[in-house]
A = this chain, B = another copy of it.
Amino acid sequence: MSKTSTYLIRPNPADPRLTERVSGIDQSGAKIDTAVTVERALTIFLNNQEIVTAMTINDYPEYLAIGYLLNQHMLLPDDVVTAVDYDEELAVVVVRTQRKTNYEKKLKKKVQTSGCAQGTVFGDLMEALEDVKLPDTQLRTSWLYKLTSEINTTPSLYLEAGAIHGCVLAKEDKPLVYMEDVGRHNAVDKIAGWMFKEKVSPDDKIFYTTGRLTSEMVIKTVRMGIPILISRSGFTAWGVELARKANLTLIGRARGKRFVALAGEQRIVFDQDLAYVEEESTKHRRKAAVHED
């Protein structure tokens, strides 16, 4: 870790619980050993009610549980969480609140959104977007280039074993929390859980994802109250439409010097001289190609 790192949480690819060595063969038929990412089942309870079983790398079960419930609107921003109990052996995490909860009805009808669907009620999502007013912050292009370059060179599980998603919460040009998980929604939820627990304001934050800018990703970012969403990947039409409706700054295909902004362009301040920005190195292009799913 460099002395100048601004990370509060970052991937720990050396953690032996997060990857597994497995043996197989390569294209020549030779025996090989390789690292693969773990997936563990974690069952989330809200008070006495079982809500969902998620597949996760399980590095932050408490943040994942809180963030999942927040992003599903089962835990409300002003709820008081009295305890979060995690039982490693049972693979169960229980979030306890002062308020009594009952989500039996809500669980019955689910909408599959594209990409990594958590199943959320469609009407609720649209409603949530209508109510939110995102702050008038700015995004300097000099921040964007510094951020993406630092994220791309941060040691991660993805560089170690692949088949994983990453999300980063940042402020100006400084990455703060970098979470990875087998499901993109888990990585987002862990950041949402961390923000709730640490009482972090979303107003001056920037959200970065390795994944596509789908409707679901836009909705989650808006719900978290973060005004800027950046991805190295592409857009879907509905993602763009929702971002425009919510006045979210939506930047995609951010690679090397290039990017495309399709919503909330007024927040962007072009302060970076592009002559001084490098294209992505072949090394990073190649690595990026593993980030597929």
Contact between B37 and A236 (Cβ–Cβ < 8 Å)? Answer: yes
Within the complex, what minimum Cβ distance (angstroms) separates A82 from chain B? 25
Taking each of A113, A163, A211, which has the highest tally of chain B beta carbons within 10 Å of its own beta carbon? A163
**Copies of this protein, total:** 2
- Taking A52-B111, A116-B115 as contacts, is the C-beta distance between A262 and B36 under 8 angstroms? yes
Is there a chain B Cβ closer than 8 Å to A220's Cβ? no
- Taking A26-B260, A214-B163, A215-B55 as contacts, is the C-beta distance between A183 and B293 under 8 angstroms? no
Is there a chain B Cβ closer than 8 Å to A212's Cβ? yes
Is there a chain B Cβ closer than 8 Å to A50's Cβ? yes
Contacts of A119 in B (CB 8 A): 110, 117, 119
Is there a chain B Cβ closer than 8 Å to A233's Cβ? yes
The stretch that binds B, out of A6-14, A17-25, A195-203, is A17-25
- Taking A26-B260, A111-B41 as contacts, is the C-beta distance between A212 and B293 under 8 angstroms? yes
Is there a chain B Cβ closer than 8 Å to A100's Cβ? no
Contact between B233 and A290 (Cβ–Cβ < 8 Å)? Answer: yes
* Interface residue ranges of A16-53 to B (CB < 8 Å): 19-20, 22-29, 32, 34, 36-41, 50, 52-53
Q: How far is the CA of A52 from the CA of B163 in the complex (A)?
A: 27
Contact between B41 and A234 (Cβ–Cβ < 8 Å)? Answer: no
Is there a chain B Cβ closer than 8 Å to A174's Cβ? no
Within the complex, what minimum Cβ distance (angstroms) separates A162 from chain B? 3
Choice from B54, B240, B259, B285 contacting A22 with Cβ under 8 Å: B240
Q: List 13 A-B contacts (CB under 8 A).
A: A25-B260, A27-B141, A32-B260, A34-B235, A34-B260, A36-B237, A37-B234, A50-B109, A52-B111, A115-B182, A211-B292, A285-B286, A288-B289
